[in-house]
A and B are shown apart, each in its own frame.
Chain A
Amino acid sequence: MKNLFIGPLAFSKLERKMGDVDQVKKSDPLVISNLHLSFGGIQALMDTSLRVQEGEILSIIGPNGAGKTCLLNCITGFYNPQSGGIYFNGKQIVRMSPDKIVKLGIVRTFQHDELFGELSTLDNLLMARHIYSKWGLLSSAIFLIWAKKGEIENRMAVDQVIHFLELGSVRDRMVRSLSYGIQKKVGLARALVMQPKLLLLDEPMAGMTTKEKEEMVTLIMSINKLGVTIVLVEHDMEVVMELSDRLVVFNFGQKIAEGLPEAVVQDPQVIKAYIGE
């Protein structure tokens, strides 16, 4: 496999250009270059660079507080890094607002508290169809014929995902009453409804039983087979080794290793980060 580790030098001029960059290929779904993120005195991400390949499953691991979720938040526009660039298919997206980023095809799940508890599974998934509901205030208010057609189409699309993820039995149940594992599945379903090109999963297996994890692994693989590039933040090493094409390790806001899973796991710096303390 190609060694795709990009060092800081290669991108030092890139970050100042807006728009398309020729060194950042349009085929690369995600390129992150020299990202710096700090909150007050705390440096959350230091000179972070990363390249995600088309169609792969890339896992990001690291101890808690290493900056993994911060990275996801930067990519999806929730945090604004002080400097650095994030390119999606060659297009600069750093500091773009989250709703615009979703419209480009980058979708994420959250670690906790991501579903609207008082709504049913169906309603939660219908939320995700927002970007495909293009009719306006007036049409909605009088429920004009294309608003009605659009809503039916929304439900059909949502039912497709429900069927794919076998959530039919909980379709009309209030999400708050569902078991934790099923809730996580609904979160994943919601991400799918948005038809992502790049899917960012933030600890999707956290708190799941072994059986639930196996199911999730199968699901993630089948989603990947549909052509979705996946970036996975996870703690469970078994899952990570099984799923990932490549692995990236973070510690204290810095990337300390990147490459094939087997190689990374034996990297002495990685071992020190996890066990050395």
Chain B
Amino acid sequence: MIFLLQNLITGIMLGMVYGTLALGFVVLHKSTGILNFAQGALVAIGAYICWALIEQVGLYSWLSIILTLILCFVLGLILERFPIRLIAKRVGGHAFAMILATFMLLVFFTSLIVLIWGGVWQTYPRFFPSKPITFFTLVISQEQCWSAVICAALLGIFVLLFRYTKLGLLMRGTANDLHIARSLGVRVNTIIAISWGISSAICGLGGILLGAITVVNLSLSEIGLAALPAAIVGGMNSIPGAIVGGLIMGTTICIFDAYIGSGFGIIGSYVIMIAVLLIRPWGILGSEKTERV
């Protein structure tokens, strides 16, 4: 019983982080219809840049974090401006070409990381107090706890952003119908660029948090990719869906890993993703799209 609760709690904590990463997927997909596999790399890059700023450049932790987020945002803008926009112009029709492009970006950045920093593990200095919280007999590490809190705050900010701000409205409009938005005078290119920037910054934050919970190495990009089933299950065109999907996936992965065996968690999440795709492709909170002939 305690074992189950312990895993549930870890799962929820992890789920919050997954939810945040899933949010990165969803924000971009909602605005541009693209599924950005490069997210995995962006997560890792965020983590590495932050580490580099702290250890190699010697900045204060807080400053490094903020600087990393800004840099990730800028990286997102650059990515959108260069490969993505050009490819979108050429092969807008073939969705698969775009997906492949993001995959290639993933590989490109992963190999870049290896080139620049080598494939060695790195660890952050302690951001959070190291004493774990004990609650009856449950043990929760402070990193996980604070990460969950930060993610929850972030998700809350995003829900508010999308629902109540002008930027959010513009992003939703662009996502819904690009051409109509453009004809209404919305600067669609700017909105898309901002979406990429925000999405990358979210990934960067996710990378930093995951790096704090575990270690900074390349496996982070796999974890970044593992947020994909979370986004699918929750609904690729739903912001609250990302949160829900993240929580479900986080707890599922933890439970599976604990009860069935390490490594099964990820597989389990993909199996669930396939099941959801077959039964209800637009996810739990997503909405269906009809096609015109």
Contact = CB atoms under 8 A, between A and B. Distances in A.
Tell me if chains A and B make direct contact, with any CB pair below 8 A. yes
A170 to B, nearest CB: 24
A45 to B, nearest CB: 14
A39 B290 CA distance: 9
A40 B290 CA distance: 10
Interface string A134-175: 000000000000000000000000000000000000000000
A73 B290 contact: no
Interface string A71-101: 0010000110000000000000000000000
B279 interface: no
Contacts of A73: 293
A82 to B, nearest CB: 14
B293 to A, nearest CB: 5
B40 to A, nearest CB: 34
Interface string B258-293: 000000000000000000000000000000001001
Interface string B49-69: 000000000000000000000
B290 A78 contact: no
A235 to B, nearest CB: 19
Contacts of B293: 73, 78-79
Nearest to B290: A39
Nearest to B291: A78
A73 B293 CA distance: 8
B81 to A, nearest CB: 30
Contacts of A78: 293
B287 to A, nearest CB: 11
Contacts of A39: 290
B143 to A, nearest CB: 47
Contacts of B290: 39-40
A64 to B, nearest CB: 14
A39 B291 CA distance: 11
A78 B293 CA distance: 8
Interface in B23-37: none
A78 B290 CA distance: 13
Nearest to B293: A78
5 contacts: A39-B290, A40-B290, A73-B293, A78-B293, A79-B293
**4 pairs of A and B residues whose beta carbons are closest in the complex:** A78-B293, A73-B293, A39-B290, A79-B293
